[in-house]
């Protein structure tokens, strides 16, 4: 599978009728598959998107993410129509039916080539292999592209030839490659085709099993919005990113994750913008842009890990030895966490932010994930699933990476595992309590000293007492990991 999909076919000399399969690359600018299809085509180019409601449900996609995808598709369809490229929509419950449906579509429109950018999740890779085989069996050309990441997974290797499993050396390898080879090119949108073979399909507004537009007022759709956000962030906030990114009440980060997750903006465009702000010094240059580049490289890292260690796509721990940890099964505690009723204001604020907006600040994600896995001792997989079902930016690699990092079952340079103290995290990253007041209004009258602490201080009946005692829970967490010398200290 690896060999076939990693192979980018020879140029076809401009004689193709390509079908471009859009997936997590919902844009016309800097879209490698689309750009090459337009170069290879003799005449018309067609686009297709596959809606797979049952598969999306099985992958825990949230209504917020589906809503953003569908609204972005509508914009993409308009942009493609302006280029005389009709976007066709295929609806098929699961991936299993996709090869047959795409092939039938290619036959109907006499397309002799399928072009798409690679995805790296296990089920997506399996689907792509089956689709490729179906097309190749009928003599059609399949061309796949590296688009989602800066470096194709598998290219960057340690000195001993293995995949990187620790972020810092991985980051250094990425930076060295970028300094050596230059930044990847950002391609413009292709020029309009001379003619089109058919009309685009109507993009449905909703998908069965998912709500209609969800958090649509907060997450405007499409690549135009993604570009606007990148510009605004680069102009107004990137310079201060290093200091502001951890402050929960500040709009200190780009809020581009939903758009990167569905490919409404390319990673290359983000990197190019940061490099411009860093005046070309992408390592050791201005702190704001360079720190932001490091975060983009965390995304890169987790995608490479997901490709190199497919078990993480299958619900398994990155560190197999942590599979023996005995997690608590306490539905009452889990519900309290899900509903933001833990009695720890900073945890509850984070969970309410996600419920109200479909997004959660990175620092809050780390705090609530640590709380679930360490203070409540609940399996990270429950948290991972709950996040996917609510986040507008749900992304298997980043979500899994973040959860396993927090649960100490994943990639981490630390030989011991960390347990966040929710109250000291709150004091440090929400010093005035403004984030808590925004998302837990019951506490708005508490002053900036009281607001971080749970229990007692609050009006009875309005805010819950802490569901666990942090100090006791911390001891229990140390014991839980105790049998595992690698993961505990």
Catalytic residues: 295, 298, 327, 362, 380, 403
Distance (Å, whole) CA 442 – CA 269: 42
Distance (Å, whole) CA 22 – CA 25: 6
Single out the residue of 25, 128, 395, 430 in contact with ligand FAD (rule: CB under 6 A). Answer: 395
CA angle 229, 280, 297 (to 5 degrees): 60
Single out the residue of 260, 419, 451, 477 in contact with ligand FAD (rule: CB under 6 A). Answer: 260
Residues 6+ apart with CB under 8 A from 216: 67, 71
The CB density around residue 444, as the number of other CB atoms within 10 Å, is 12
E strands in 107-258: 113-117, 141-145
- Considering only 123-131, 158-166, 276-284, 395-403, which stretch makes contact with ligand FAD by CB under 6 A? 395-403
Give the torsion sign (CA, 240, 242, 245, 250).
negative
Radius of gyration over every alpha carbon of the chain, rounded to an integer in angstroms: 23
In the bound state with ligand FAD, the residue whose beta carbon lies nearer, of 141 and 355, is 355
In the bound state with ligand FAD, the residue whose beta carbon lies nearer, of 114 and 396, is 396
Number of residues counted as binding ligand FAD (CB under 6 A)? 28
Smallest gap from residue 114 Cβ to ligand FAD (A): 28
Single out the residue of 151, 167, 302, 417 in contact with ligand FAD (rule: CB under 6 A). Answer: 302
- Considering only 162-170, 255-263, 322-330, 421-429, which stretch makes contact with ligand FAD by CB under 6 A? 255-263
- Considering only 93-101, 293-301, 329-337, 413-421, which stretch makes contact with ligand FAD by CB under 6 A? 293-301
Q: What is the phi/psi pair of residue 331, to 5°?
A: -60, -35
Check binding of 296 to ligand FAD (CB under 6 A). Answer: yes
In the bound state with ligand FAD, the residue whose beta carbon lies nearer, of 200 and 401, is 401
Instruction: Find how far residue 341's CA is from the centre of its chain.
Output: 27
Q: SS3 of 114, please?
A: strand
- Considering only 22-30, 50-58, 109-117, 294-302, which stretch makes contact with ligand FAD by CB under 6 A? 294-302
Smallest gap from residue 41 Cβ to ligand FAD (A): 32
- Considering only 9-17, 139-147, 159-167, 297-305, which stretch makes contact with ligand FAD by CB under 6 A? 297-305
Check binding of 255 to ligand FAD (CB under 6 A). Answer: yes
Run of H or E including 102: helix 98-108
**Burial state string for 117-139 with b = 16 or more CB within 10 A and e = fewer than 16:** bbbbbbbbbebbebbbebbeeee
Single out the residue of 84, 362, 450, 484 in contact with ligand FAD (rule: CB under 6 A). Answer: 362
- Considering only 97-105, 394-402, 417-425, 434-442, which stretch makes contact with ligand FAD by CB under 6 A? 394-402
Check binding of 477 to ligand FAD (CB under 6 A). Answer: no
Asked if 267 and 260 count as a contact pair (C-beta separation under 8 A), the reply is yes
Distance (Å, whole) CA 433 – CA 346: 9
Residues 6+ apart with CB under 8 A from 394: 60, 61, 62, 65, 261, 387, 388
Single out the residue of 17, 118, 148, 299 in contact with ligand FAD (rule: CB under 6 A). Answer: 299
Single out the residue of 254, 266, 411, 426 in contact with ligand FAD (rule: CB under 6 A). Answer: 254
In the bound state with ligand FAD, the residue whose beta carbon lies nearer, of 40 and 300, is 300
Check binding of 257 to ligand FAD (CB under 6 A). Answer: yes
Binding mask 401-440 for ligand FAD (x = CB under 6 A): xxx--x----------------------------------
CA angle 259, 356, 241 (to 5 degrees): 50
Check binding of 387 to ligand FAD (CB under 6 A). Answer: yes
Distance (Å, whole) CA 240 – CA 302: 25
Check binding of 261 to ligand FAD (CB under 6 A). Answer: yes
Task: To the nearest 10°, report the CA torsion of 111, 115, 120, 122.
Answer: 10
The β-bridge relationship of strands 113-117 and 87-91 is unpaired
Smallest gap from residue 6 Cβ to ligand FAD (A): 23
Residues near ligand FAD (CB under 6 A): 245, 253-257, 260-261, 295-296, 298-299, 302, 362, 365-366, 369, 387, 391, 393-395, 398-399, 401-403, 406
């Amino acid at each position: 599978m690896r060999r076939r999909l990693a192979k980018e076919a020879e140029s076809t000399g401009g004689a193709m009728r390509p079908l471009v399969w859009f997936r997590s690359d919902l844009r016309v600018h800097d879209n490698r598959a689309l750009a090459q299809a337009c170069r290879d085509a003799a005449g018309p180019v067609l686009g297709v998107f596959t809606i797979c409601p049952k598969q999306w449900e099985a992958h825990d996609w949230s209504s917020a993410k589906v809503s953003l995808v569908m609204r972005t598709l509508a914009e993409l369809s308009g942009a493609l129509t302006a280029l005389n490229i009709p976007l066709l929509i295929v609806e098929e419950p699961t991936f299993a039916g996709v090869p047959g449906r795409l092939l039938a579509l290619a036959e109907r429109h006499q397309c002799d080539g399928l072009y798409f950018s690679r995805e790296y999740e296990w089920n997506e890779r399996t689907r792509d292999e089956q689709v490729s085989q179906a097309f190749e069996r009928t003599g059609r050309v399949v061309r796949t592209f590296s688009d989602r990441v800066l470096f194709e997974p598998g290219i960057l290797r340690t000195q001993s030839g293995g995949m990187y499993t620790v972020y810092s050396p991985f980051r250094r390898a990425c930076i060295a490659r970028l300094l050596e080879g230059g930044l990847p090119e950002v391609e413009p949108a292709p020029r309009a085709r001379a003619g089109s073979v058919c009309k685009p399909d109507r993009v449905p507004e909703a998908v069965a099993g998912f709500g209609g537009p969800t958090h649509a007022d907060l997450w405007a759709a499409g690549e135009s919005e993604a570009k606007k956000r990148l510009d605004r962030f680069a102009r107004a906030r990137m310079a201060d990113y290093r200091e502001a990114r951890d402050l929960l009440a500040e709009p200190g980060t780009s809020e581009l994750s939903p758009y990167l997750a569905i490919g409404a903006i390319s990673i290359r465009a983000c990197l190019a913008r940061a490099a411009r702000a860093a005046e070309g010094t992408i390592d050791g240059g201005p702190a704001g842009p360079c720190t932001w580049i490091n975060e983009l490289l965390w995304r890169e890292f987790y995608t490479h890990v997901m490709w190199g260690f497919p078990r993480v796509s299958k619900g398994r721990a990155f560190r197999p030895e942590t599979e023996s940890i005995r997690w608590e099964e306490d539905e009452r505690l889990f519900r309290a966490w899900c509903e933001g009723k833990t009695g720890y204001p900073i945890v509850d604020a984070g969970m309410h932010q996600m419920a109200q907006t479909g997004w959660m600040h990175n620092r809050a994600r780390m705090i609530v994930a640590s709380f679930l896995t360490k203070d409540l001792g609940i399996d990270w997989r429950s948290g991972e699933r709950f996040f996917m079902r609510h986040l507008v930016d749900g992304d298997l690699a980043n979500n899994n990476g973040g959860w396993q990092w927090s649960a100490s079952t994943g990639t981490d340079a630390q030989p011991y595992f960390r347990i966040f103290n929710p109250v000291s995290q709150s004091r440090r990253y929400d010093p005035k309590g403004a984030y808590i007041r925004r998302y837990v209004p019951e506490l708005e009258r508490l002053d900036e000293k009281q607001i971080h602490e749970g229990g007692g201080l609050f009006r009875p009946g309005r805010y819950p007492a802490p569901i666990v005692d942090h100090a006791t829970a911390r001891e229990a967490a140390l014991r839980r990991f105790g049998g595992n010398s690698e993961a505990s200290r």
